[in-house]
């Protein structure tokens, strides 16, 4: 089995299907261990720096808890404490932190900042969200699909809404894992052509399909999973009212869920704006797996840390 020790997780574009399945398998194993009270202090003596330019509850808590479960020590750094790229060049931050800690988790705005940090870091860098990618969310999402559907091959995931960082990572990771993905976004809000082309490249030998449409009902036809995200992400607050009008026909409601397979499940990376991109009825329905999905952020964070950090 290929070792992942020392690797970065920036977008997961460079991970093979076997390496992605390795991460998911580790997450499943670690979830079983914590549920059965099996100790797994695999990272005792290790330290993880967490640089957060953007606030988060699930990401921060999942990584800090992941450190607690595995014996690592997390150091949370607010934006004003580091000011990556402002008070200190990002390449210096990468080199200095590499002398102190065993991994760096970063949640920031521009994806190029994460790439620059990784270039100058000698310890693993984990992207906990940028404007372009959200790979740790995608790992938790596909772990959840695997749990509820018992497979990833021959699964169709319909993403309805803004073609944002969450959609990008679902496309990149899902295409490698054998998932067919249909995206329905308003015109002008689709995922970038570069991301779509990359995902299609990874489907050439698997038989799965990547499609993009402006019709949410076309996207969810025969879907096993319906997924959505907020219509205005952090940093887009000024566009909020405009986006409510543009995306109003892309709400995931009971009628849209009924247009998918009867056993389709609903997913959302949370927080959900109930009454906007999704109705309260759908979030609280038996088809919703959003809280199982949120819990799996913990187990995939642990899988990333124990897989990437050098031990011994």
Q: Both tokens of residue 137?
A: 């969310």
CA pair distance 213, 230, nearest whole angstrom: 19
Chain centroid to CA 178: how far? Answer: 17
Q: How many CA atoms lie within 13 A of 34 on its CB side?
A: 20
From residue 145, give the alpha-carbon distance in Å to each of 118, 157, 213, 301. Answer: 30, 9, 23, 17
- What residues are labeled active site? 107, 134, 137, 229, 269, 297
Q: Is residue 271 reached through a cis peptide bond, with omega within 30 degrees of 0 on the bond before it?
A: yes
Is the torsion defined by CA of 12, 16, 19, 21 positive or negative?
A: positive
CA pair distance 197, 209, nearest whole angstrom: 12
Largest CA distance in the chain: 55
């Amino acid at each position: 089995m290929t070792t992942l020790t020392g690797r970065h997780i920036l977008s997961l574009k460079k991970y093979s299907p076997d390496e992605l399945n390795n991460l998911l398998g580790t997450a499943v194993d670690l979830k079983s261990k914590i549920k059965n009270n099996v100790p797994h202090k695999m990272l005792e003596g290790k330290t993880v720096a967490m640089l957060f330019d953007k606030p988060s509850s699930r990401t921060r808590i999942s990584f800090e808890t992941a450190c607690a479960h595995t014996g690592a020590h997390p150091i949370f750094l607010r934006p004003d404490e580091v000011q990556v790229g402002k008070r200190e060049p990002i390449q210096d931050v990468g080199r200095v932190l590499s002398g102190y800690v065993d991994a760096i988790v970063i949640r920031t705005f521009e994806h190029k900042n994460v790439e620059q940090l990784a270039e100058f870091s000698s310890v693993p860098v984990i992207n906990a969200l940028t404007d372009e990618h959200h790979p740790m969310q995608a790992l938790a999402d596909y772990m959840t699909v695997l749990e509820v559907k018992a497979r990833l091959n021959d699964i169709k995931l319909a993403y309805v809404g803004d073609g944002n960082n969450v959609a990008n990572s679902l496309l990149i990771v899902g295409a490698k894992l054998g998932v067919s993905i249909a995206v329905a976004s308003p015109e002008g809000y689709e995922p970038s052509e570069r991301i779509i082309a990359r995902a299609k490249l990874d489907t050439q030998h698997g038989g799965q399909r990547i499609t993009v449409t402006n019709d949410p009902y076309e996207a969810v036809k025969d879907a096993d999973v319906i997924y959505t995200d907020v219509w205005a992400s952090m940093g887009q607050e000024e566009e909020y009212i405009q986006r409510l009008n543009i995306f109003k026909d892309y709400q995931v409601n009971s009628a849209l869920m009924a247009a998918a397979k009867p056993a389709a499940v609903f997913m959302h990376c949370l927080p959900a704006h109930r009454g906007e991109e999704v109705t309260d009825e759908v979030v609280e329905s038996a088809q919703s797996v959003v809280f199982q999905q949120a819990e799996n952020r913990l187990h995939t964070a642990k899988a990333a840390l124990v897989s990437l950090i050098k031990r011994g």
